[in-house]
Amino acid sequence: MQCESVFVDGCRRDQVDRFKFGAGGTRFSTGRSRSRVSPPTRRHFRKKALSAVGVDQAGAVPRLHAAVVVAHPDDETLWCGGYILAHPQYDWRVVTLCRASDADRAPKFRRVLKEMGAVGEMADLDDEPDQMPLPIEQIQAAITRLLAGDSYSLILTHGPRGEYTRHRRHEECCRSVVDLWRSGSIATNCLWLFAYEDGGHAYLPRVRDDADRRDMLAEKVWLEKRRLITGVYGYDIDSWEARTVPREEGFWCFDSAQAAAKRAAIGEQQP
């Protein structure tokens, strides 16, 4: 059973009507998964660090807790940055497994989170170019600590084969999150896995044909996402990262840990 049968744009169906209008009167899309995402304004991007108090005082339901678990700072922007930016009504926590001691990327990650209106934390697992496998227990312990024991409405993370050919930490991150959910070590109503591929280096990463959900980002959202990659993370305009920034975002969506584990197993077996 896919998660979007329970959630509409990440909200429980019994909350959708009350969540159609976020802080400031911005209307958020509650259509089917292939509809265009309604963007917040540029002013909303800058002032999106709303407190939960503001929403509660307006008489809305409490803010939904959502988390992003990625291997590296910038993965959160590349693969689901549009979804984060288009859903400022969520209480976002973004965590990375690597680069906490990186004097360049760590402060940039913190700045990106501030501009997204999110909070987060970084771990410092090995990220050397040789990509030696890490013990699954070490990765799971890091994820459990980073998620701080909270219960979430939605968690987003890497796909079973990553988003391009290839990075082992992306694959290990996916496997660890799925296994933790299946064992009950982390709590979430839904899990979305990034659904991208690059044809074995044949082209830049793009949404897979078998993705459950495809979101074509509105231009304002996509440009803001691209600005975070070039203007905050500092990637050159001709870099792989800047050229990759997907205008369309794709996910596999699950409300069952068993279904997510099956999808992950299938992905790991694919060439």
Task: Give, for all 271 residues of the chain, the pLDDT tens digit.
Answer: 456 544 555 444 444 333 332 333 333 333 344 444 445 544 444 443 333 333 444 455 678 999 999 999 999 999 999 999 999 999 999 999 999 999 999 999 999 999 999 999 999 999 999 889 999 999 999 999 999 999 999 999 999 999 999 999 999 999 999 999 999 999 999 999 999 999 999 999 999 999 999 999 999 999 999 999 999 999 999 999 999 999 999 999 999 999 999 999 986 666 5
In 3-state terms, the chain is what percent helix, strand and coil (to 5)?
40, 20, 40
- Structural domain boundaries in the chain: 3-269
Cβ of 211: how many Cβ atoms within 10 Å?
A: 21
Cβ of 138: how many Cβ atoms within 10 Å?
A: 15
Asked if 159 and 174 touch (Cβ cutoff 8 Å), the reply is: yes
pTM of the model: 0.81
What DSSP letter does each residue of 210-225 carry, written as one string? T-SEEEE--HHHHHHH
Task: Give the H or E element holding residue 159.
Answer: none
Alpha carbons 159 and 141: distance in angstroms, whole number: 20
In the 8-state DSSP scheme, what is residue 92? E
- As a CATH number, domain 3-269 is 3.40.50
